[in-house]
Chain A
Amino acid sequence: GAGVSQSPSNKVTEKGKDVELRCDPISGHTALYWYRQSLGQGLEFLIYFQGNSAPDKSGLPSDRFSAERTGGSVSTLTIQRTQQEDSAVYLCASSVSGGGTDTQYFGPGTRLTVL
């Protein structure tokens, strides 16, 4: 079946512009995660959605970052007034029901470059 998909695969933007990154989770997965991976670094948790519950936003680095998940499926991560330090690969993952025992399946990521 189809895996997690993300779009665009690459995004180049100018400092100060807003960007939107999209994630389509695996069908039927109720949990969705966003992570950020800077060059040569590990994955940094950003935000977590589980069903209709309020999202866990504890990993968002600043109020320029926001995310929403519509209809319990597709999610959009928005970065406002982008800065050069926002340059990274943004990865989305989904799992069947969330929780520490669930496998998270990752998408291919969106590589964001802020000039």
Chain B
Amino acid sequence: QQPVQSPQAVILREGEDAVINCSSSKALYSVHWYRQKHGEAPIFLMILLKGGEQKGHDKISASFNEKKQQSSLYLTASQLSYSGTYFCGTDDEGSSNTGKLIFGQGTTLQVKP
């Protein structure tokens, strides 16, 4: 089932913070976060694993809630380069752990000077 991302769009000034949420109806084995700029391939940002481990970007952080059904991506002191569409891809707990990701519909982030 497709995860739901919120908000759908965010406009920030440089230096401001943002939080993007990704919610699923199922407990998740992992959540993968990607950023995509217009006309480009999605770029990996971070993986969150149900055991609490994180792999990824040192300027971006993320968390799982207790039930492992929601992840939040934290962008602090945003830069112009943070602009793009952010996608979460989820791997349901109990799946065959194939890495087959179900992606949310995306959150468009625009950082203005």
Name A residues whose Cβ lies closer than 8 Å to a Cβ of B: 4, 31, 33, 35, 41-45, 48, 50, 56, 58-59, 91, 95, 98-109
Contact = CB atoms under 8 A, between A and B. Distances in A.
Interface stretch (B10-18, B67-75, B76-84, B102-110): B102-110
Contacts of A42: 2, 87, 103-106
A25 B20 CA distance: 30
A72 B29 CA distance: 27
A20 to B, nearest CB: 20
Interface of B: 2, 29-30, 32, 34, 40-44, 47, 49, 55, 87, 89, 91, 95, 97-106
Given A42-B105, A43-B89, 19 more contacts: A31-B99, A33-B100, A35-B103, A42-B87, A42-B103, A42-B104, A43-B103, A45-B100, A56-B98, A58-B100, A100-B95, A101-B47, A101-B55, A102-B99, A103-B32, A105-B44, A106-B34, A108-B40, A109-B41
Contacts of A102: 99
Contact of A48 (B43, B98, B103): B98
Chain B CB within 10 Å — which of A41, A100, A103, A109 has the most?
A100
A45 B102 contact: yes
Given A100-B29, A101-B49, A44 B40 contact: no
